[in-house]
Chain A
Amino acid sequence: MDTDIRDEIEHSFGDGPPLPLDDDLLRRAHGALRRRRLAESVAVMAVALVAVTGAGLLAGGDGPNAEPMPAGPPTSTTESKDPAPTFPPAPTSDGDGRAPGAPVVRDPHLPADTPVDAQVDGLHVALGVGIEELRDDPWNVRDDGDWSVAVAYTAPGAPLTWWVGYVGADGGASSASIAAKYSRGLGFDAWVAAQGDGVRGGDSTSEGTTPEGGWPGLTDVELVRFVEGTERLEPVPGATLLRQREHPDLPRSWAGAGDRSAVAEVELDGTRYYVLARSNAGERTPQYIAVKASRGGATLDDFLELARERYAEGGGGLL
């Protein structure tokens, strides 16, 4: 009877009206991917911000004028979400002469109703904010109908801040920022590019330009595989297994107690890699994520520290 029912249902309705043309699908998909990646990087920054703000409170820096940054070096993530200018689509019908769809840069320390003071190359700049540098579409996404913009700006009571924002053609927007003094030696343009590496590349194998930024994982480099039924790894022909650890201590989002998991340091053709491997219970194929040592850290322990950050809640993963 089930087979009969299956056939009956299959033939109980047609194919419907002609499938609509959907030239927009890939563009929408690209935009969704960018927003997801940028949101993940901002989530990492938010975690770091909690850490550094906590440090500031412990140091007694909780007065109304206290700078929300630690006195000492920042934690492992250098970026900070604070101060973060807002980046909403500007009103298009408020009669103040703004260009339709242009964003507004405001410093969050300023009252929300601070009037727009000037228009700088498509940006509406809040009163008191000074634009030091501006890069129009540094991520080169305009061809997709989107737009990116980066500014270095100053505001009363705030340090020099770098900020980059992205507006999708469908109206979605995201932004990231950092106090320039916490950029760990990166220049403004390099920092902007690093944020874009996580957002711009449509390919899962794209690499970030810093260990902190981007998604350094590679899935097209075959280096090791699980020994059947174990958590031990063996190298593929041509690769050299330098060291490995079974079931490394990583968050559950990477692997749970019932999953097989391992990490290894491997060399292939003169290049050193770290590989995270897992075989989740119930899934048919293991996953192997390789990260070049140049991106994953100096030692296997450094790489595991990176992996712990990336697979913590909101960490964004390695891919």
Chain B
Amino acid sequence: MRSTERDRAFSDFVRARRLHLRRVAYAICGDWHQADDLVQTALVKLYVAWPRVHRDGREEAYVRTIIVRADIDEHRRPWRRESPGLPAVDRPAREALPVEERSALFDALQALPTMQRKAAVLRHWLGLSVAETAHELKIGEGTVKSHSSRGLDALRTALAGDRH
């Protein structure tokens, strides 16, 4: 495979940030396989756009934006598979964390409606501003405030319950 400056810089970025981006994707979708798919798709798009994005130092924001704007199939999220009637053969390969490796807070995060969850991840975990979050999610700042406020309330409730 041809080694170019683009390949080297891109590979360096992937090595440095993939794990973090994978966690972001997992926080959004709640499934490690889907998270890996999301990240890989976003990284391929990043490679295509590399000169422009790298020039501006926006590599991570670019990938993150693709991840958070992805349409996540809620029906495939393990956190939504509440029905006891699902057949045992249903997607055995999909992997959520074992219960002991995740917290009530994470469960609460996953239980949030999609946009609340995305807003909570961007605002309250990654520390983006309201304006930045609005831009990444392509929604209004007022909507971001509404989503993040409701999401935060739910997370606080979960935290409080976890501590009692």
Listed in ascending order, the chain A residues whose CB lies under 8 Å from chain B are 1-2, 5-6, 8-17, 19-20, 22, 25-30, 32-33, 36, 143-144, 202-204, 219, 283-285, 287, 319
Contacts and interface: CB of A to CB of B under 8 A. Distances in A.
Contact of A29 (B10, B27, B51, B127): B10
Contact of A143 (B1, B48, B50): B1
B125 A6 contact: yes
Contact of A144 (B1, B50, B103, B109): B1
Nearest to A140: B2
B44 interface: yes
A9 B44 contact: no
29 contacts: A2-B124, A5-B124, A5-B155, A8-B103, A8-B105, A8-B159, A9-B105, A9-B155, A12-B105, A13-B97, A13-B101, A13-B102, A14-B97, A17-B32, A19-B18, A25-B40, A26-B7, A26-B47, A29-B10, A29-B43, A30-B1, A30-B47, A33-B48, A143-B1, A202-B6, A204-B50, A204-B51, A219-B55, A283-B56
Interface in B1-27: 1-2, 4-7, 10-11, 14, 18-19, 22-23, 26-27
Contacts, number: 112
Contacts of A284: 56-57
Given A5-B124, A25-B43, A13 B48 contact: no
A301 B11 CA distance: 40
Interface of B: 1-2, 4-7, 10-11, 14, 18-19, 22-23, 26-27, 32, 35-36, 40, 43-45, 47-48, 50-52, 55-57, 95, 97, 101-103, 105-106, 109, 120-121, 124-125, 127, 152, 155-156, 159
B124 A6 contact: yes
Contacts of B45: 32
Nearest to A201: B4
Given A12-B103, A25-B44, A202 B4 contact: yes
Given A9-B125, A16-B23, A29-B44, 6 more contacts: A12-B103, A15-B22, A32-B45, A203-B6, A283-B56, A285-B55
Tell me if B's interface is mostly helix, strand, loop or mixed: helix
The 10 closest A-B pairs by CB, nearest first: A29-B47, A204-B51, A12-B106, A9-B125, A12-B103, A12-B105, A16-B32, A203-B4, A202-B4, A13-B106
Contacts of B55: 219, 285, 287
Given A204-B6, A319-B51, A13 B27 contact: yes
Contacts of B27: 9, 13
B136 to A, nearest CB: 14
Nearest to A35: B48
Interface centre among A2, A11, A25, A283 (most CB of B within 10 A): A25
A283 B102 CA distance: 39
B152 A15 contact: no
Contacts of A11: 103
Q: Kindly name the residue among A5, A17, A28, A283 whose own CB sees the greatest number of chain B CB atoms within 10 A.
A: A5
Contacts of A25: 14, 40, 43-44
A219 B51 contact: yes
A283 B106 CA distance: 35
Contacts of B7: 26, 202
